[in-house]
């Protein structure tokens, strides 16, 4: 099976990037990370890239005259590296409609809540504040809405009575590291089919 070329966009520690790296190296993902792009020059994710000898690039959004100019540069790098899938892994910039349309059907994100509940920032705190019994995480296709794209996979975790946002976040993160690589592999196998807002998972051939 031909390896899927992947680009990953990061801003912080890169723990989901690490999960993708590990899954590629172990063969759980039939893919290869071609480039990691960060808007934060101090992101620990870049240290992970060095350790695994992955190509990385830093484009600080503050150095560009406009959002459009910033995104055009990122698009250029992604295309130069031949990526067939773009994965957001803690990328802390809201992408424009033009960027999303450019990679329509090839742009994935992971969110620390059971969408459509608690989109946006601090999904874990939102869940605790609301008093839900269960939370979790969601891998979805990215569309023009914030965390509103078609859902691919979700994983549920219980909310314990003594949970803080940190303890709940840690429990959710473990599940993120499981389902993000799973969703990427389903994409690599060509098994994800969009039907309206629904994502159908075809059986393995």
Residues marked active site are found at 111
The per-residue b/e assignment along 142-166, b for 16 or more CB within 10 angstroms, e otherwise, is bbeeebbbbbbbbbebebeeebeee
Place of tokens 């969601």: 138
Q: Is the dihedral of CA 164, 108, 91, 82 positive or negative?
A: positive
**Total Cβ atoms within 10 A of residue 72:** 15
Of 155, 177, 184, 138, nearest to 27 (Cα)? 184
**Cis check: omega of the bond before 150, within 30 degrees of 0:** no
Q: Is 97 exposed, middle or buried (0-12, 13-18, 19+ CB in 10 A)?
A: exposed
């Amino acid at each position: 099976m031909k390896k899927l070329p992947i680009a990953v966009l990061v801003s912080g520690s890169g723990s989901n990037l690490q999960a993708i790296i590990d899954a590629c190296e172990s063969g759980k993902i039939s893919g290869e990370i071609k480039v990691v792009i960060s808007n934060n020059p101090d992101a620990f994710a870049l240290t992970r890239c060095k350790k695994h000898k992955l190509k990385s690039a830093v484009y600080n959004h503050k150095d560009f005259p406009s959002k459009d100019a910033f995104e055009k540069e990122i698009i250029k790098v992604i295309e130069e590296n031949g990526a067939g899938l773009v994965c957001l892994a803690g990328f802390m910039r809201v992408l424009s409609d033009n960027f999303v349309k450019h990679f329509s059907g090839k742009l994935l994100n992971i969110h620390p809540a059971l969408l459509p509940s608690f989109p946006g920032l601090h999904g874990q705190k939102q869940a605790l504040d609301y008093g839900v019994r269960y939370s979790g995480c969601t891998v979805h296709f990215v569309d023009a809405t914030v965390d509103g794209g078609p859902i691919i996979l979700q994983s549920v975790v219980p909310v314990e009575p003594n949970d803080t946002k940190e303890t709940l976040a840690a429990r959710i993160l473990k599940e993120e590291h499981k389902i993000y690589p799973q969703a990427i592999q389903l994409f690599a196998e060509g098994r994800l089919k969009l039907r309206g807002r629904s994502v159908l998972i075809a059986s393995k051939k």
